[in-house]
Amino acid sequence: MKGKTIIALFLVLSFGVLIAEILYFPSPQTIISSGFGEFRPSSSGLMPHFHLGVDFPTYGREGVEIKAISDGYVYKIEIDEDSIYGYTVYLKNRDFISLYAHLSTFGERLKPIAESLKREFPNQRVEVTFPEGEIFVRAGEIVGYSGRTGDVLAPHCHLELRDLENKTALNPIPILNAERPDDLEVVIDEVRIDGEVYPATSGVIPFKSDIPKIEVSAYLTYGTTVINPYEVTMSIDGRQVYKIAFDSIKLSEFTEAYEVYGKGSTYRKYWFKMYSNEPLSVIKTNAWGDIPRLADRVTVEVTVKSFWDDVKKITFELVRR
C-alpha cells in the first residue's frame, strides 16, 4: 500500500457520517506506530490527554514528505513551536477535516505564507483560517515535512481526522484501511482489583467492596511497537457490563483521559478502567448503575480486540472475602 494507493471505502461510522473517499497515505510508511485514543502524558504542562490521531514512523528523520490523503481545501494552519501540535496544516476534505501536525516546515505553496506570518509575528503562536476554496490541494500533494515541533519526542507523521464541524476526532485506521502488521499480538498481562494487581492468568481473585474497581492492563504489540487496542469489553456472569471502543472522541473530552485510563498508564502501558461516572464518547456500555452490590462469587470475562479484529480473552472468578 505504498505510493499512490487508491482505496474506495464506504464506511458508516458510529456518528452516522458516510465516508466515500479516494485516499493516499500521508507518509511512505503504512504501519502505524501510535494508535487512536492512546493515553498521553504531557511534557508541555498540560493535563494528560487522549492521542486524537495516529502516527506513522519516519524513523527519527525530519524532512520526510507528508502528503494530503484526499482532495480538499486548506482550512487552517498553525505556527507554534511549543504547543501540542506545533506546525500544523488542516485540510477540509469532502467528508472530514484532515490534520497534519509536528511539521518541521510547510509545503511549497504554504511555506511563503508561513514565513511571512513568522516575520510579522515573531516568537508568537499564529493561527490562520482561510476562506473555503481559496487554496485547493490535490490528494498526494505535499503539505509539509516531518519534524518535531510541538509536544513530541521524535519526528514522525501525525495524522488526525475530524468531522466537518471540527468537534469530534475520528479513528483514521478503518478509514485508511491501515495495514495489519504480520506479527501483531493482543496482550492482556495484568488485572487490578481495588488497587491490588494480579496476573491476568489468576483463576480466583478476592475482593471486599460492594462494587470492586476493576482495571485491565492490555495492549497490542508488533516488532518493538506498542499501541492501544480498539475495544476492551467486560462481562460478569455472561452479561456485558462495560465496553470501551475507540472509534471517535469529542474534542471537548481531550483532557478526560484519566476517566478511561487508570493510575500508572504511560505511552506504552495502558490500564483500562472498567468503570466510570462520565458518559464519554468511547464508553459504549456502562451497566454498573444497575448493580447495587456485586454477588459474592462471579465469573468475569475480559475481551480485548485490535483494529483488525484480533481477539484475546481472559476469564477469572471474583470471590468476596
Same domain for 156 and 216, yes or no, is: no
Is residue 270 situated within a structural domain?
yes
Residue 181: which pLDDT band, with cuts at 50, 70 and 90?
very high
| Residue 2: predicted pLDDT | 37
Is residue 163 situated within a structural domain?
yes
List beta partners, residue 168.
250
Is residue 5 situated within a structural domain?
no
Same domain for 98 and 246, yes or no, is: no
Is residue 51 situated within a structural domain?
yes
Would residue 166 be called left, alpha or beta, if left means φ above 0 and alpha means ψ between -120 and 50 degrees? left
Would residue 230 be called left, alpha or beta, if left means φ above 0 and alpha means ψ between -120 and 50 degrees? alpha
| Residue 3: predicted pLDDT | 39
Same domain for 109 and 248, yes or no, is: no
Is residue 92 situated within a structural domain?
yes
The domain that holds 200 is classified in CATH as 2.60.40.10
Same domain for 35 and 171, yes or no, is: yes
Cell matching residue 229: 487496542
Domain boundary among 144, 176, 208: 176
Same domain for 191 and 148, yes or no, is: no
Under 8 Å CB-to-CB from 139, ≥6 apart: which residues? 22, 23, 24, 67, 68, 69, 70, 71
Same domain for 209 and 160, yes or no, is: no
Cell matching residue 172: 483514521
Domain range spanning residue 130?
Answer: 11-176
Under 8 Å CB-to-CB from 10, ≥6 apart: which residues? 18, 19, 20
Buried b or exposed e, range 18-55, using 16+ CB within 10 angstroms: ebebebbbbbebbbbbbbbbbbbeeeeeeeebbbbbbb
| Residue 218: predicted pLDDT | 98
Same domain for 267 and 214, yes or no, is: yes
| Residue 83: predicted pLDDT | 82
Nearest to 288 by CA among 238, 231, 256, 242: 242
List beta partners, residue 272.
216, 261
SS3 189: strand
| Residue 10: predicted pLDDT | 31
Give me the mean pLDDT over the 296-318 stretch. Answer: 98
Is residue 73 situated within a structural domain?
yes
Same domain for 253 and 203, yes or no, is: yes
Same domain for 202 and 167, yes or no, is: no
For 83-107, the pLDDT digits (tens) are: 889 999 999 999 999 999 999 999 9
Q: How many domains does the chain have?
A: 2
Is residue 90 situated within a structural domain?
yes
The domain that holds 97 is classified in CATH as 2.70.70.10
DSSP state of 178: P
Is residue 40 situated within a structural domain?
yes
Domain boundary among 176, 202, 217: 176
The sign of the dihedral angle between the CA atoms of 26, 27, 33, 34 is: negative
For 35-66, the pLDDT digits (tens) are: 999 999 876 666 899 999 999 999 989 999 99
Same domain for 136 and 193, yes or no, is: no
Please state whether the predicted TM-score (pTM) of the whole model is above 0.95: no
Same domain for 145 and 202, yes or no, is: no
For 227-246, the pLDDT digits (tens) are: 999 999 999 999 999 999 99
Residue 153: which pLDDT band, with cuts at 50, 70 and 90?
confident
| Residue 8: predicted pLDDT | 32
Question: Has residue 6 got a pLDDT over 50?
Answer: no
Domain boundary among 176, 202, 220: 176
| Residue 45: predicted pLDDT | 62
Same domain for 295 and 191, yes or no, is: yes
Nearest to 76 by CA among 1, 4, 162: 162
